[in-house]
Amino acid sequence: MEHIEENSHQPAGELSLLLPASSDATNMFGDVYGGWVSAKIVQAAEIYAAKLSKGRVSTVSVGQMEFLSPVLEGTIMSFYTQLIESGRSSLRIHVEAWGCCPDGSELRKVTETECVQVAIDGHGHIRDLAVAI
C-alpha cells in the first residue's frame, strides 16, 4: 500500500458509513481510540461488501494502518469504500477514514487501509459472489 499524505485531496469511493465519534470511544485525553476507528473501517468494508455480494460476508484480513492525526470526541467520521479486486468468493476493498469538525470547518484524512471480505452463506460456508459484480 502506498504511503498516505496528511493533506490528501478529497475522499475516494462510496460513502458507506457516517457517524460521530462519541465519548465512549475516547481515552482520558479526549482522543478516540485507534481500535474504534479500526472497527468502523471493518464495518464500512462489510457494509460495502454485503451490498456488492448481495448477502452475508466475513472479514478475512485488514491491512496496515497509519494514523495521520488524532480524532477528537464529536468528530464526524466518514468511511469511504472502493472495490479494488474481486475473486470467485472474495472482495478486496480500499477504505478511507475521514474526519470533519462538527461545525464543518475542517475535513482531513485520518487513515486508510485495505480489507478482504469473503462471501458466506447462512451456515458460514464460503459461497460464490453474485454475478452482478
Q: What pLDDT shows up at residue 3? A: 46
Q: Give the whole-angstrom CA distance, residue 77 versus residue 127.
A: 32
Question: How many angstroms separate the CA atoms of 24 and 26, rounded?
Answer: 6
Q: What is the rounded CA–CA span in Å between residue 98 and residue 112?
A: 9
State how far the alpha carbon of 10 is from the alpha carbons of 15, 32, 56, 98, 119, in Å.
Answer: 12, 22, 30, 9, 30
Domain boundaries, the chain: 14-119
pTM > 0.85: yes
Identify how many contiguous H helices and E strands the chain contains and give both numbers.
1, 5
Under a CB-based contact definition with an 8 Å cutoff, are residues 130 and 115 in contact?
no
The CATH homologous superfamily for domain 14-119 is: Hotdog Thioesterase (3.10.129.10)
pLDDT digits (tens, 9 = 90+) for 14-55: 999 999 998 888 988 889 999 999 999 999 999 999 999 999
